[in-house]
Structure 1
Amino acid sequence: MATESKKDWILMVTARSPTNIAVVKYWGKRDEALILPINDSISVTLDPSHLCTTTTVAVSPNFDRDRMWLNAKEISLSGGRYQRCLREIRSRAGDVEDEERGICIGKEDWGKLHVHIASYNNFPTAAGLASSAAGFACLVYSLAKLMNVREEQGKLSAIARQGSGSACRSLFGGFVKWEMGKDSAGSDSIAVQLADEQHWNDLVIIIAVVSSRQKETSSTTGMRESVETSPLLHYRSTEVLPKRILQMEEAIRTCDFPSFARLTCADSNQFHAVCLDTSPPIFYMNNTSHRQVPHSFIVSLH
């Protein structure tokens, strides 16, 4: 690795990724390690200027280990999901050269260099707003830029998926479908953009945060328990969702708000029914949410 004579250089990349709101939800995995879902899902990506994760990644020969800070607090990178994302990005890294500073990093050098990661969510973490989706999407995207990974967005989404399932959808704007795929290795479980950010300009999404407290049951735990104990979950994934996915795609394509609203509400209600059908039952709605159920669908048009 040819670098500046003084090994005090640092290269940085900063990226911003939005969270997404599922209108046909992902719930349940057929493979826990690879995060392969039991159903397709569809989401709308929110405006990154409102709800997003901002991540800065840096590399330097002075770094002696990989480190990460989330909302200014250092967290461990030893978890399997972080390690998978780091490993997958490093394996695809390319050459990086900064002629002005005399820095040249060969693709074979990335395995010996360490990174520092600083990530910040401008919305409550683990409170139900898919902070992990924005976080892992931003992590994968920023690392890919830092390491000059030349992969199309769909392939990057398969890496982000291994950090957090719905993260694959936050790599695209507009309306996004996460295809469950059939390959046991997950090569075809990727996100694809159904329509870009300009497709439905008069659609407005309002987020009302009724509690910023962390969920009592994590999504990972909840999904596992639902897969193991809920007959309704399996009926939903095999009998209901294939038709609902097609109907939602058509509603998005034609900007049919009544159908879009009806399908989104139906899917949300069925998701909470699956949670109640899980043993022990899972409760993601609080008292404020229950009081607002008749008015809970607040996606609206100008």
Structure 2
Amino acid sequence: MIGIARAHTNIALIKYWGKRDKKLFLPMNSSLSLTLDAFYTDTKVTFDQTLTKDTFFLNNKEETTEKITPFLDLFREKMSSPRFAKVESLNFVPTAAGLASSASAFAALAGAINQASGLHLDTQTLSTFARRGSGSATRSLYGGFVEWNKGTDSHNSMAIPIDDASWDIAMIIIVVNQAKKTISSRDGMALTVQTSPFYQAWVESAEKDLQNIKQAIANKDFITLGEITEFNGMKMHGTMLGSNPPFCYFEPETIIAQQAIRQLRAEGIPAYMTMDAGPNVKVLCQTSTIPTILSHLETLFSKDKLIISKVGKAMHYLTQDDWEQSLQSFEDTL
């Protein structure tokens, strides 16, 4: 009973920030993301009747199963003959640095379990399971632009594919810092929801942003898409500054990157920024403008801090040969 899956990260253009149900991971507001091809997680799950406990290996190192076992249990409840599992995961994303590593991680894990268990859940149903590992993992099961409909309960808070984003869409990631964040997304969300007087206004405006950005996508209107993306992302970070105590993920180079994007726009280059819970800046752009944007950013940042990503695919299954190649690729990066 083996399953192997790959899922790509996604970057939210309309942010998910705050839960109305912490156990079921039900969000305060719906969100929308772009799946990226540059970062991904490969995961292999083996259900074996000879195992006496779950085991988890991340990047070839054994880790605690504190988060893995409860996630496996969601699927085991539906299996006719539940078994313990060996989970092996290769994360081609800097972990916990605001680059959505948990999204690809739990989306790949959900896919691998789905295949190994023989449940063969459809993608939208599977997205309701992935959500229980990491909210943003809901969206990583699809490629292109994806909505996470907040829903009314655990059964309909799910991912909805919106558009394949095959119209000159790309993103440049400015890696300010790959280190683990001092404040996790979960802790940051909780503090913001509990203490920020700006929070309720954020929820209400995010819903309006979602409707507007979906219309921009339908119209293939890149300028409006970018403007809404930047507006929404900066509002989310504003709620954090209004928390008690206030906190901020920005670092000095974050501000430099933001100023660079504004300068590009002043020069007539359509480029728009967004940020998740971390210091790294993501630049939403058109593939055709990448050379111009890079030439500007390379005057401020070293080339190794600038990562180009095109649109990522939906979660998909891998063969054992694919898995062996991923192992080799990971070892080559060490």
Structures share a fold, TM > 0.5?
yes
Distance 1:118 1:181 in 2: 32
What's 1:134 paired with?
104
Q: Provide the aligned C-alpha RMSD in A.
A: 1.3
What's 1:43 paired with?
33
What's 2:146 paired with?
176
| Unaligned runs of at least 5 residues, structure 1 | 1-10, 94-107
1:260 is displaced (CA, Å) by 0.7
What's 1:57 paired with?
45
Q: Contact 2:3–2:114 at 8 Å: present in 1 too?
A: no
- Partner of 1:181, secondary structure, is coil
Q: Contact 2:18–2:28 at 8 Å: present in 1 too?
A: yes
What's 2:258 paired with?
293
1:165 and 2:131 are equivalent in the alignment: no
- Aligned AA (2:219): T
1:218 is displaced (CA, Å) by 0.3
1:61 is displaced (CA, Å) by 2.7
- Partner of 1:156, secondary structure, is helix
1:272 and 2:244 are equivalent in the alignment: no
- Aligned AA (1:88): L
User: Which has the higher Rg, Structure 1 or Structure 2?
Assistant: 1
- Where do residues 94-243 of structure 1 align in structure 2 (5 Å cutoff)? 108-110=80-82, 113-183=83-153, 186-196=154-164, 199-238=165-204, 240-243=205-208
Percent of residue pairs bearing the same amino acid type: 35
- Partner of 1:149, secondary structure, is coil
Distance 1:163 1:217 in 2: 19
Q: Contact 2:8–2:36 at 8 Å: present in 1 too?
A: yes
Using the size of structure 1 for normalisation, the TM-score is 0.85
1:12 is displaced (CA, Å) by 2.8
Distance 1:177 1:288 in 2: 30
- Aligned AA (2:102): S
1:261 and 2:226 are equivalent in the alignment: yes
| Unaligned runs of at least 5 residues, structure 2 | 262-272, 274-282, 289-334
- Aligned AA (2:218): R
- Partner of 2:174, secondary structure, is coil
Distance 1:181 1:295 in 2: 38
Q: Contact 2:2–2:46 at 8 Å: present in 1 too?
A: yes
- Partner of 1:215, secondary structure, is coil
- Partner of 1:282, secondary structure, is coil
Distance 1:56 1:191 in 2: 23
Distance 1:194 1:222 in 2: 28
Deviations 1:201-230 (A, max 9, x none): 311111121111011100000000001001
1:90 and 2:76 are equivalent in the alignment: yes
What's 2:268 paired with?
none
Using the size of structure 2 for normalisation, the TM-score is 0.77
Q: Give the paired residue count.
A: 267
Distance 2:102 2:93 in 1: 11
1:281 is displaced (CA, Å) by 1.4
